[in-house]
Each structure stands twice: as C-alpha cells, then as structure tokens.
Amino acid sequence: MTPPHTGLSAALMAAGLICFLGGMIVLQTRRHAPGAVSLMVLMFALSWWDISYSLFWAKAPAPYPNFWLYVTYAGVVTVPAALVVFAMQVSEMDEWLRPLFIIGLCIEPILVLVLLFTDPWHGLYFAGKETQGIGMLLNGGPVHWANIVYSYLLILIGMVILIRRFIQSTGIYRKQLAVILIGAGIPWLNSIVFVLGLNPLPNVDNTPFSFTIAGFAFTYALLRFRLLDILPIARHALVESMSDGVIVLDVHNRLVDFNAAAERDIGLSRRPVIGESVERTFSAWPNIAKRFLMVNDIRVELPIGDPPRRVLDLKISPLYDHRKRLLGRLVVWRDITPLKKAQADLQEQAIRDHLTGLYNRRYLGETLERELARAKRGNHPVSLIMIDIDHFKNINDTFGHNMGDSILKSFAKQLLEQTRIEDIIYRYGGEEFLVLLPNVTSQNARDIAERWRTSFQEAHAFHEGEKIDVTLSCGIAEFPLSGKSSEELIAAADKSLYQAKAMGRNRVVIWQDTTR
C-alpha cells in the first residue's frame, strides 16, 4: 500500500475548496444570470473531483479499496457536460439548450457511473484491468476509454464554440472569452503532456489540476470582468438591424456595447470605445455624457449640433437583476428630426392663413399678450394697425372671388415686403388685416400706414384690361395709451377703423382722434 501523499492531498483539498467557494459565489450572487447554473454545476463538480481525489491521496478511511477513486468519478463525468453547456450559454446559443438536449447530456454520465459501480458483474468498465491505486484511473476496458473519448470530444466542442464566439466578439467580450479560452485549453494541454510522457508527477493523474485551473479562469472572468453581470444586458438587446441607436452601460458607466445605428448616429468606432467610461467615450460631446450620467431613468429630446441639425428622442432605462440591484442602463434613441420638422410644419400651418400665408387669428391670441407683456417690462410702446380693403364685397360681386383672392394675396405680399422682421402681420378675417408694430408710437405708425395706403392705391389692379381702383382704411391704437389689454387694444383699433370708414374711407385714423 502506498503511503499518504500529504502535499498533493493538501493542494487538491485547497483547489477543491476554492472551486466550492467559486460555486457558492455564483449561487449567492449570480444564479439567475445566463450561464450561472452551468458554471455553478461545473465549479461544484470540480470541487467534488478535487476533494475526493485529495482524500484518496490522504489515505482517508474507506469502506473498501478504491472507494475514493470511485467517488471521484461523479465529478469526472459531470465536468465535460457542464463545460460545454457553459460555453454555449456564454456564446448565447440558448436555442440549443432545450430539455431533450440537456437530458441527452445527462445520459452518458449516468450510464458511466452505473457501469462503473456494477463492473464486478459485467466487467465492461475495467475489463478485468482494475488495479488498486492510481492505476485504476489510467487503465480500463471499452467503457473506460469510450468515456475518455466522449469527455474530450465535449471539451473540444466547447472549445470550438468559444473560439467562434471569440472571433465574433469585440472589446470587453473578447477579454472575457480570452480568459475562458485559456482556462478551457488547459485540460487539452495536460492531455498532450500526458501522451508525450512529460508528466512531472509520475503515477499521478494531473487531470483534476488542469480542470481546476480552468475553474479558476472562469471564476476570474466572473469576478474581474463581471461576466455574468454583463451578459444579461448584452447582445440580445442589441439588434444590429434596428434603426434605433442602442447603447448598454454597466453599473460603472462603462460602455458595454452598441449597435450599428449608434455607430452611425454618434460616430463611434466599435473597438476603441468598448469597455471605456462613458465620460471618455463622449468627451467630444460633454452634454451627451452629462445626460447619460445624471439619472437612471429619463426620456428627453436631445438636440445634436450647434445649431441643432438633428433631434434624438433619448430614453434611458435602468437594468436590474432579480434582487432589484442596478446592473447598468439601456440607452435607446430614435432620430426624430423628420418628425419634428413635420410637427413644425403642421404647427406653422395651424397658425397660417392658407390663402395669404400670413398669420391667422389663432396666432394673434398666442402673440399679442406676449408682446404687450414685453412692452410693459421694457416700458416701450406697441402700435396695432387694423386695415380694411374698401368696398371689397363689391369687388367680389363685380369681378369674382378669384379677383378678390388675387387682391388679398397682392396686399399681403406688399405688407411682407414693407415691414420689419419684428413686425407681425395677421389676416384678421375676410378683407381685414392686423399689423403689430413693437416699439412704434401711434404717430409713427400713422406714417407707416399712410405709405402702405398710398402704395396700395397706386399699384392698381386689373381685370380683363379694366383698371380696378382699390383703397385702404386704417385704424391705429397704441399700447398702453389706447388700451392696457389685448382686448382693449383690438377694440380701440377697430373703433379707429370704423371712424376712418365713417369719414369716407381711404384714410388713416388714430384712436385718440376718435375720442376728441
């Protein structure tokens, strides 16, 4: 009987306990994340393998020879299946992981364990080659070697899946998968060393050490890169074909991923920015970075450019785990520039007269109070001119409505050409117009109105070669002399216009004149 190997036993026990601790970390903190269950099973299986193998080398009490080696097999047959499932989940191949597939993976380990413990009755596992001690793990019959081939085939499949995913991944994903690949490759390296006869510990099966190193690598990826924290908020939320821009930030404000629309809209380049802080990523757009960082949940319209050339509908949503702990944020935006333009066009149409293109009475209600309030604050006058085209009904009746419309449009064009930018022109109704003149007294407004009246009268209108004489009557009111509210000011201008018509039309009257 070989003596206890204390150093080897202690190393295996330590490795087993660390694997158990890694499994407990997954169980306590990440068990609802994709890949967590398979990683937890893998870590516990490695722990079982290491600890039972440690007890074998420590010559722990056992009910019969090779008992602890038999116990070891429960972990041995579980590790490859758990590893391939973990690789598939990390690579987001969940569509393969259906119940029948999982059951199929469980059949071989269960069958091997049954044949192992019943070998004395059929001899399929050891084929009469069972020995005491380590030789039992290194020799055997058809089932023994079939299990080895099957196990390494599963590991190879897992490696291929991870390599394929590694090639497709970028940034922080690539770093995570690199660590996982290194860990998953250690068992294969150990097998090559064993086949070449380069084993540094003769008569010692190094396989549990190689898989334990793989477990350490997975645990490192879990803790260092927060692997399972990032996966739930990653690629499945980033559909490359989406027209909406999508960015995923982790809890540390690192850029986890973004789609093609985000790259197009903001001008990101995929490789340099993945994993960087959002402040650094958007250093050229500090206002955008500020929006991302100020709250977890918000929806705003975000102008891009100075002056704004585009408008984005930006929505930031928090991402929580099952315990309502913040994992990160999902930032989604849609380019609503065409929509905003259409809304502006509709709003403009709602406040414009369709015939003349001037503002209508609706816009008068929106702007007059505002202009009067501004005049009150600035202590400056505002004049309001109400204009009526004389005998307009007779023109319509005599020459037709088309001629009347032409005269209205011609006068509107004249007003637009002969007013300032700050002046506001309204079609008040029918043949009546209102012109709001900020910072203009009623006396100055009379001079302006006289120029309009003279110019319009001299322009003449013609219908089938016949000249039509068209004149204007104007009434003027001044804020605050004529009225201190919009209603009083409009009423004063209307009274002035009525006075102008009563005095024979084709003239300009100021409100004060009507009260003398």
Helix, strand, or coil (residue 128): coil
* Residue 238 reports pLDDT greater than 50: no
Q: How big is the chain by its Cα radius of gyration, in Å? A: 43
* 383 pLDDT more than 90: yes
pLDDT-based confidence at residue 268 (cuts at 50, 70, 90): low
User: What is the rounded end-to-end Cα distance, in angstroms, of the chain?
Assistant: 133
Q: What pLDDT score was predicted for residue 3?
A: 54
Task: Judge whether residue 462 has pLDDT over 80.
Answer: no
Confidence grade of residue 415 (pLDDT, cut at 50, 70, 90): very high
Cis amide prior to 307 (ω within 30 degrees): yes
Instruction: Return the SS3 of 76.
Output: helix
Residues 256-285, mean pLDDT to the nearest whole number: 68
Q: Dump pLDDT digits (tens) for 21-41.
A: 888 887 777 666 667 788 889
DSSP conformational letter for 28: I
- Candidates 140, 110, 302, 328; CA nearest to 226 is 328
Q: Specify the pLDDT at position 414.
A: 94
The pLDDT of residue 228 is above 60: no
Statement: residue 134 has pLDDT above 90:
no
Q: How far apart are CA 417 and CA 84, in angstroms?
A: 78
Per-residue pLDDT at 232? 44
Q: Which two tokens stand for residue 455?
A: 């110019």
Alpha helices, DSSP H only, in 2-98?
Answer: 6-25, 36-57, 67-76, 78-90
pLDDT recorded at residue 192:
67
Mean pLDDT of the chain: 81
Average pLDDT over residues 464-474: 85
Confidence of residue 135 (pLDDT cuts 50, 70, 90): very low
282 pLDDT band, cuts 50/70/90, is: low
d(CA 492, CA 506): 19
Instruction: Name the H helices within 274-360.
Output: 278-281, 286-294, 337-350
Residue 79 is which amino acid? Answer: V
User: Does residue 413 carry a pLDDT above 60?
Assistant: yes
- Burial label, 340 (beta-carbon count in 10 A; 0-12, 13-18, 19+): middle
Between the ranges 177-181, 252-256, 389-393, where is the mean pLDDT highest? 389-393
Sort 62 into a burial class: Cβ within 10 Å, 0-12 / 13-18 / 19+: middle
Which pLDDT tens digit goes with each residue over 294-327?
667 788 777 776 666 778 888 888 888 666 778 7
Give the pLDDT score at 59. 83
SS3 state at 319: strand
pLDDT on residue 150: 92
pLDDT band at 139 (very low <50, low <70, confident <90, very high): low
Residue 298, beta-bridge partner list: 316
**pLDDT value at position 516?**
45
pLDDT bin (cut points 50, 70, 90) of residue 391 is: very high
Cα separation, 225 vs 274, in Å, equals: 13
Q: Is the pLDDT of residue 237 over 50?
A: no
Cβ 183 vs Cβ 87: under 8 Å: no
Which CATH architecture is the domain 351-514 placed in? 2-Layer Sandwich (3.30)
CA-to-CA distance for 453 and 418, rounded, in angstroms? 12
The answer to whether 125 and 119 are in contact (CB under 8 A) is: yes
Cβ atoms 312, 336 nearer than 8 A: yes
- The runs of H, that is alpha helices, within 441-510 are 442-459, 486-502
Q: Find which of 2-11, 278-287, 365-374, 459-468 is predicted with most confidence, using mean pLDDT.
A: 365-374
Q: Which of 111, 104, 29 is nearest to 77 (CA)?
A: 111
CATH code reported for the domain at 6-232: 1.20.1070.10
59-93 pLDDT per residue, tens = 888 887 778 888 888 988 998 999 899 888 877 78
Q: 160: which 2 tokens?
A: 């291929």
Closest CA to 426 of 393, 371, 387: 387
Contact 126, 140 (CB under 8 A): yes
- Residue 201 is predicted with a pLDDT of 65
**What's the rounded mean pLDDT across residues 451-455?**
94
Report the range of poorest mean pLDDT among 55-59, 188-192, 512-516.
512-516
Rounded Cα gap, residues 230 and 225, in angstroms: 8
Model pLDDT, residue 170: 65
**CATH for the 234-340 domain, from 3.30.70.100, 3.30.450.20, 3.40.220.10, 1.10.150.530:** 3.30.450.20
Average pLDDT in the 257-262 region?
Answer: 77
How does pLDDT run across 316-366, given as a tens digit for each residue? 888 886 667 787 888 888 888 888 888 888 888 888 998 999 999 989 988
Residue 432 pairs in a beta bridge with 388, 429
pLDDT tens-digit readout, 96-115: 888 888 899 999 999 999 99
* Token code pair at residue 428: 């008040």
pLDDT band at 472 (very low <50, low <70, confident <90, very high): very high
Of 426 and 89, the one with more pLDDT: 426
pLDDT digits (tens, 9 = 90+) for 498-514: 999 999 999 999 997 44
Domain ranges of the chain: 6-232, 234-340, 351-514
Least confident window among 38-42, 86-90, 131-135, 221-225: 131-135
For 391-438, the DSSP string reads THHHHHHHH-HHHHHHHHHHHHHHHHHTS-TT-EEEEEETTEEEEEEE
Taking residues 379-393, report their average pLDDT: 95
Across the range 413-440, mean pLDDT stands at 95
- DSSP assignment string, 348-400: HHHTB-TTT--B-HHHHHHHHHHHHHHHHHHT--EEEEEEEETTHHHHHHHH-
**Which pLDDT does position 419 carry in this prediction?**
95
Of the candidate ranges 28-42, 406-420, 482-496, the one whose mean pLDDT is the lowest: 28-42
| pLDDT score of 440 more than 90 | yes
Rounded-to-integer distance, Cα 90 and Cα 93, Å: 8
Percent pLDDT > 90 in the chain is 30
pLDDT of residue 166: 82
Give the rounded percent of residues in the chain with a pLDDT score beyond 70. 80
Looking at residue 326, its pLDDT comes to 81
